[in-house]
Structure 1
Amino acid sequence: MSSGTAPAPGAARAGRGFALLGAVQVVLILAITMLSPALPAIQRDLGLSGAQLTLVSAAYGLSFSGLLMLGGRLADLLGRRRSLIAGAAVFGLASAAAGLAPGFAALLGGRFLQGVGAALAAPAAMSLVRSLYPEEGRHARALAVWGGLAGFGATSGMLLSGTVSTWVSWRWSFVVPVAVSLVAVLAARRLLPTGPAPARVRLDVPGAVLVTAGLTVMSYGLVEAGERSWGATVVWLPVLAGLVLLAAFVAVELRVSDPLVPMGFLLRRRRATALWATFIGAAGMSTIFFLLSLYFQEVRGVSPLLTSAAFLPFSAAQLATGLFAGRLIARFGGRAVTSGGLLLAAAGLLLIGMLDSGTPYLGTLLIGLLLFPVGIACVFSGSTVVALDGVEDHRAGLAGGVVNTAMEIGPTVGLAVLVSLATNRTTGLRDGGTGPAAATSGGYAFALTVAAAAFAVSAVVAALVLRRGRPERARTEARTEARTEGADRTDGAAGTGRPDPGAGTEPAGPPTAPPTSPPTAPLTSAGT
């Protein structure tokens, strides 16, 4: 376990360091969505089939989400700054390779390696925020801003891609990731502290292999669900195999002395609820991006550039709210900000879900596109503060990996479920004689309304669970976690004879960015 910690940097240096980390966070999330508006151009230029295009779109998210927990643990074991530099280097080189790719294999490999680099860099960057701002109050405010950066990165990716693919070439979309990665590699040693000394524990290799394989395989099946039926072997078999691997991962974690993810860390009610809020928030945001992108282009005939521009108010509202969220959390607490944000986001989804084939942009649609990002920025900021509250310093990298995993898996699961609902609803409407445009819009509206209901229920649950804990409740939760980890340590010791250096209790308490690359095959469109 680490005991030595580098002194906190001065205010000016901390500000510059946070700006660097924020730029890295934005570009890692930007890379998720930046190819979405450019997919038709990529398909034309490289002659890709629909299946190949799906793999290119999904590759980054598959490797990113699958490796995040391992990346978080490596940040604790190898050092935060070192992991950030290594991840940024891999991400930048892979981005350059993808931008120069002559064909499918090179582009697929570049996107996959981008995700590998991102999985190393993202948890390290989040944990370095603690090193920059060790004081509890400033750390919470910094995390609130950090949570708001995720959504800004997602919308920026769409705008960047839509702009360059319309005016120049989709290949230029990779210039920004390369540039930010280069700056991060060159400036990290000057602007960022090293963080605490690496933890002196062994890497849980079986657990790392199982969770990486489980998340990756399950995510692949869920991505395929976006364009096939749930009964297709390529859908249900990977999903089932992934769940089996994840169950095996849990079994391993309960027995080893140095688990990759101590179960007590995940089972705290407040942390689990905050992670759920992050999960569903990312799922809802990716659903809006995906369905509205199709709606504007397939139903309304809008260009990729104008489609991206339609999300500008969304991006501006989310960024502004994220920058202000720290003050809201300081005044009202993580519970109120998270649950209130879920409620606002539900209202936004409900308004967006009122769309039809002729809904004007300047009306309920725009109001929804302003309400939802305000709410979701509060959700991401509040849940990030809650999820990371009380995390011990030697687990900061792991905690960052877990939060980022929730943000990455949410869109994969959410899109698989909601796209299926939209497709089935569209098919039913068309079979009933509804025109193509109206049927497609009706399918989208139905899925968005279901999402709104899920957000509303989640808001109620968050308000009930994320209550300001009374001292006795805080002590009870801490004892519960200690007992859980003590059981892990005892079981592990039976097989290894070694104590668990990571065991201990954390105080109960209040927690970044989004969506995994969505399925690329459009739903039943107005033109089919």
Structure 2
Amino acid sequence: MPSSAAARAAGPLRATAPAFVLLGAVQVVLILAITMLSPALPAVQRDLGLSGAGLTLVSAAYGLSFSGLLLLGGRLADLYGRRRLLVAGVAVFGAASAASAFAPGFGTLLATRFAQGAGAALAAPSAMTLVRSLYPDAARRARALAVWGGLGGFGATAGTLFSGAVTTWTSWRWTFAVPAAVSLCVVLAAPRVLPAGPAPVRVRLDVPGAVLVTAGLSVLSHGLVEAGERAWGAPRVWVPVVAGLLLLVAFVVVELRVREPLLPLGFLMSRRRAAALGAILVGSAAMSAIFFFLSLYFQEVRSATPLLTSAAFLPFGAAQLAAGPLAAWAVRNRGARFVTAGGLVLCAGGLLLLGRLGADTPYLGGTLAGLLLLPVGIACVFSGATVAALEGVRDDRAGLAGGVVNTVMEVGPTVGLAVLVTLAATRADRLRDGGTAAAEAVSAGYGYGLTVAAAVCAGGAALVAYALRRGGPDGERDGGGGGGAGPVP
């Protein structure tokens, strides 16, 4: 390559640190947008006169479109270019964020939250795959991905802390200012700071598969969200759950038959990759359960304000921020298997401590200890599992891999909360029927849900320790046509 051409090609890679910071800001703000409305929901309900069902839809709209479109977003990044899709997705996300701040009523806010999620689904896989382009060296790439794995959890925590403060001192509408401002900065800086990534893949988009998986994940997620408000036997729960599962079955059938599938099923046949994705699913579900149950506990049982509730999570955020670099160091020196399995063990311990909730449980004690231990475990799980999930992925399927990882991270909270909220509510109802005071019954219900989550994490640690071991048959495939044959190069 002539020296001038080489300089032009290498130019975007010289500023590796600024590029990684820019991509990290994208990842943090996309996840921040999921949790930032949680402390503000009562204020949103008052200002817009929303019903309980309307409030649930507004809260869930972003996650529904985000999770449903991620696989499509990842494949589009492979087909049309990573930086191009990143800029397009962030632009849509930012414009929808700004529009949400001025929403006059329910319909507008619902539509803008859906649009936010659609933009995020385009941007998130591209951001993850551009990290691979920044670090061609395998060892440096693994370290970068380990740090990257902890950013999502930090974004979720930051969203809760940020929203509680903003809602207390100003208006919930100002919570959308940060996503809009970060989006504008990324759109302006990306062409100068980020590499374009590998050349786009010249294959046809699997439109039937894209439609089926998007509809299936969205409808299934909607049913699971409804399960948090209603009994599983209610038509508004089981009808979308069954419909979503049928659509996903149809998606699998299509992927097995088409020549160029959206998701080659062989991509998921790796023992290591499946275990890593399972760990991300469990870790994201555990973190969402903490925010959900403890936010309700502090405000409903302990009568804390939104600001005090956010302040209660400050140790969680600080521990998570400190644990991210340590987890990345541990992945580099001890390996993804040790860090992921150990992280799940720490998560189980933290959840057990938090599962001892009572109506008068002091914050200083088991609750604080759990809020310090759990984020360390989550940082380890996300860092180790992200590295393991992306091992050996071909460059032309990096966008797809990013979409799969992010999809699992988004689906985990939906599935986990649907199950844990049901278990917690059932436990609380039984205690109330037995004569237990309401506050104590609710606290015990939340504690029971967290204890079940601890048991799942402990079981997951054992499975991950077995599945991520080296050696033995794995059947790892990165997928080709017709559902995916062909070994990972």
What TM-score bracket applies, with the shorter chain setting the length?
over 0.9
Q: Which ranges in structure 1 are unaligned for 5 or more consecutive residues?
A: 490-502, 508-528
Selected match of 2:382 from 372, 380, 383: 380
- In the superposition, the TM-score normalised over structure 1's length comes to 0.90
**Cα–Cα, structure 1 residues 8 and 238, in superposed 2: closer, same or farther, change >3 Å?**
farther
Q: Is the 8 A contact 1:8 1:133 kept in 2?
A: no
Selected match of 2:487 from 505, 514, 517: 505
Aligned to 2:251: 249
Aligned to 1:441: 443
* Equivalent residues in 2 for 1:77-476, closer than 5 Å: 77-467=79-469, 469-470=470-471, 473=472
For 1:177, give the aligned amino acid. P
Deviations 1:245-276 (A, max 9, x none): 00110111111111100011012111011000
- In the superposition, the TM-score normalised over structure 2's length comes to 0.97
SS of the residue corresponding to residue 15 of structure 2 reads: helix
Of 316-325 and 363-372, more deviation after overlay is shown by 316-325
SS of the residue corresponding to residue 37 of structure 1 reads: coil
Q: Is the 8 A contact 1:88 1:121 kept in 2?
A: yes
Aligned-partner Cα distance in 1 for 2:11–2:240: 46
Report runs of 4+ in structure 1 exceeding 6 Å deviation.
Answer: none
For 1:47, give the aligned amino acid. G
**TM-superposed deviation, 1:76:** 0.3
Q: Is the 8 A contact 1:422 1:444 kept in 2?
A: yes
- Report the number of matched residues: 483
Deviations 1:309-336 (A, max 9, x none): 1111111111211122221011110000
**TM-superposed deviation, 1:11:** 6.3
Aligned-partner Cα distance in 2 for 1:9–1:114: 32
Provide the aligned C-alpha RMSD in A. Answer: 1.5
For 2:343, give the aligned amino acid. G
Aligned to 2:26: 24
**TM-superposed deviation, 1:485:** 4.4
For 2:204, give the aligned amino acid. R
* Equivalent residues in 2 for 1:28-39, closer than 5 Å: 28-39=30-41
Aligned-partner Cα distance in 2 for 1:15–1:106: 38
**TM-superposed deviation, 1:504:** 3.3
**TM-superposed deviation, 1:10:** 6.6
Aligned-partner Cα distance in 2 for 1:8–1:443: 57
Q: Is the 8 A contact 2:12 2:195 kept in 1?
A: no
For 2:83, give the aligned amino acid. R
Mapped pair 1:67 → 2:69 = yes
Aligned-partner Cα distance in 2 for 1:159–1:337: 27
Q: Is the 8 A contact 2:61 2:114 kept in 1?
A: yes
**Cα–Cα, structure 1 residues 12 and 356, in superposed 2: closer, same or farther, change >3 Å?**
farther
Aligned-partner Cα distance in 2 for 1:344–1:200: 44
For 1:279, give the aligned amino acid. L
SS of the residue corresponding to residue 477 of structure 1 reads: coil
**Cα–Cα, structure 1 residues 75 and 485, in superposed 2: closer, same or farther, change >3 Å?**
closer
Q: Is the 8 A contact 1:8 1:132 kept in 2?
A: no
**TM-superposed deviation, 1:7:** 5.0
Aligned-partner Cα distance in 2 for 1:486–1:75: 18
Aligned-partner Cα distance in 2 for 1:188–1:147: 21
Aligned-partner Cα distance in 2 for 1:233–1:187: 48
Percent identity (aligned): 68
**Cα–Cα, structure 1 residues 150 and 8, in superposed 2: closer, same or farther, change >3 Å?**
farther
Aligned-partner Cα distance in 2 for 1:158–1:318: 14
Deviations 1:184-238 (A, max 9, x none): 1000000000001000111000000000000000000000000100000010010
> Which protein has greater RCO, CA pairs closer than 8 Å, 6+ apart?
1
Aligned to 2:56: 54
**TM-superposed deviation, 1:487:** 5.7
Aligned to 1:495: none
SS of the residue corresponding to residue 257 of structure 2 reads: coil
For 1:100, give the aligned amino acid. F
Deviations 1:5-58 (A, max 9, x none): 995557651110000000010000000000000000011111111111011000
Q: Is the 8 A contact 1:151 1:315 kept in 2?
A: no
Aligned to 1:494: none
For 2:97, give the aligned amino acid. S
Q: Is the 8 A contact 1:8 1:131 kept in 2?
A: no
**TM-superposed deviation, 1:477:** 2.6
SS of the residue corresponding to residue 318 of structure 2 reads: helix
**TM-superposed deviation, 1:488:** 3.5
**TM-superposed deviation, 1:77:** 0.3
Aligned to 1:43: 45
Aligned-partner Cα distance in 2 for 1:488–1:400: 18
Aligned-partner Cα distance in 2 for 1:374–1:396: 28
For 1:477, give the aligned amino acid. G
For 2:76, give the aligned amino acid. L
**TM-superposed deviation, 1:134:** 1.3
Aligned-partner Cα distance in 2 for 1:53–1:308: 20
Deviations 1:481-502 (A, max 9, x none): 37x747647xxxxxxxxxxxxx
Aligned-partner Cα distance in 1 for 2:12–2:115: 35
Aligned-partner Cα distance in 1 for 2:71–2:96: 21
Aligned-partner Cα distance in 2 for 1:326–1:426: 40
Aligned to 2:475: 477
**TM-superposed deviation, 1:108:** 0.6
Q: Is the 8 A contact 1:86 1:120 kept in 2?
A: yes
**TM-superposed deviation, 1:280:** 0.7
Of 313-322 and 242-251, more deviation after overlay is shown by 313-322
